[in-house]
């Protein structure tokens, strides 16, 4: 386990375990840090283990918000005709629909 030392305004503090050093460094990144293996004190902002996460890595979309799992709200439709029927669908802004010829032959109000 690494023991970290932090320095602010020339005052040395420590030793700290890594979790506590990360917490202190994120609260005040304007200092220096040292641990065994370092040849000199380094600015906290240059130490990956202690630096504030940059947020440059964007996580993938949540599975709950991906389009594969979204459910559409109620679809507004009207069935026209008697013998040769067709369905007219009204889409809200941002909605889309994909239909193939004959795919909606059995459309009723429960779908």
- Rounded to an integer, the average pLDDT of 45-57 is 72
Residue 33 lies in a domain: yes
Specify the number of domains making up the chain.
Answer: 1
Q: DSSP readout, 10-50?
A: TEEEEEE-HHHHHHHHHH--SSEEEETT-SS-EEGGG-TTT
Residue 102 lies in a domain: no
38 is in which domain, residue-wise?
Answer: 4-46
Q: Which residue has the tokens 């009204």?
A: 90
- Count how many residues are written for the chain: 111
pTM, full prediction = 0.47
Residue 21 lies in a domain: yes
Residue 8 lies in a domain: yes
Q: pLDDT value at position 82?
A: 81
Residue 72 lies in a domain: no
Residue 59 lies in a domain: no
pLDDT digits (tens, 9 = 90+) for 16-42: 999 899 999 999 999 999 999 999 999
Residue 40 lies in a domain: yes
pLDDT digits (tens, 9 = 90+) for 69-102: 556 677 788 888 887 777 788 888 877 777 776 6
Taking alpha carbons only, the member of 93, 82, 89, 83 closest to residue 104 is 89
Q: pLDDT value at position 100?
A: 72
């Amino acid at each position: 386990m690494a023991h970290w030392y932090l320095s602010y305004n020339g005052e040395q503090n420590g030793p700290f375990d890594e979790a506590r050093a990360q917490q202190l460094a994120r609260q005040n990144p304007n200092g220096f840090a040292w641990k065994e293996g370092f040849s000199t004190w380094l600015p906290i902002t240059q130490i990956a283990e202690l630096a504030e996460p940059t947020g440059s890595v964007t996580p993938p979309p949540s599975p709950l918000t991906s389009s594969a799992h979204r459910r559409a709200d109620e679809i507004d439709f009207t069935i026209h005709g008697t013998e040769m029927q067709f369905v007219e669908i009204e889409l809200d802004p941002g909605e889309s629909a994909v239909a193939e010829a004959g795919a909606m032959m059995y459309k009723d109000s429960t779908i």
